[in-house]
């Protein structure tokens, strides 16, 4: 199993450009989420999904869109990139079992994004 795969690993954008960060998992996990990592701020939740077709906002959703058409994929779209979106982005997946919950998040390797 590859686990959680993120592409690209690095990206440089100009202000106003749009792009999609890809995230795919091959573990059949129900839950997927996107975090951004900024110095001094820790990880902050952008959007999350509890299953195909179901998404919701996290703490810092402005400027980002998500969709979940399949269990495996959870892309993050930057609509019009701004310098404030310069960050490292992490995708994560997790699952629960009947009668118990498993709270271990499986993270991707991250995408380092710079917006000039």
Q: Which residues bind other proteins (CB under 8 A)?
A: 31-33, 35, 40-45, 48-50, 58, 90, 92-94, 96, 101, 103-105, 107-110
Our CB check for other proteins shows the closer of 13 and 94 to be 94
Bridge-based pairing of strands 10-13 and 111-115 is parallel
Where on the phi/psi map is residue 44: left (φ > 0), alpha (ψ -120 to 50), or beta? beta
Our CB check for other proteins shows the closer of 13 and 47 to be 47
Q: In whole angstroms, how close is the CB of 40 to other proteins at the nearest point?
A: 6
Cα dihedral value 42, 45, 51, 54, nearest 10: 180
Our CB check for other proteins shows the closer of 20 and 57 to be 57
Q: In whole angstroms, how close is the CB of 107 to other proteins at the nearest point?
A: 4
DSSP string, 44-105: EEEEEEEETTEEEE-SS-TTEEE--SSSSB--EEESS--GGG-EEEEEEEEEEETTEEEEEE
Q: In whole angstroms, how close is the CB of 63 to other proteins at the nearest point?
A: 19
Our CB check for other proteins shows the closer of 14 and 42 to be 42
Q: In whole angstroms, how close is the CB of 44 to other proteins at the nearest point?
A: 7
């Amino acid at each position: 199993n590859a686990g959680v795969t993120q592409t690209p690993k690095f990206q440089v954008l100009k202000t106003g450009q749009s792009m999609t960060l890809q995230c795919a998992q091959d573990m059949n996990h129900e839950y997927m989420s996107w975090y951004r990592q900024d110095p001094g701020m820790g990880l902050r939740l952008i959007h999350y999904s509890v299953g195909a077709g179901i998404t919701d906002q996290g703490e810092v959703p402005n400027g980002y869109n998500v969709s979940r058409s399949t269990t495996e994929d959870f892309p993050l779209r930057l609509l019009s990139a701004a310098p404030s979106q310069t960050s490292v982005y992490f995708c994560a997946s997790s699952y629960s079992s009947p009668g118990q919950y498993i709270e271990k998040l499986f993270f991707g390797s991250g995408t380092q994004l710079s917006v000039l």
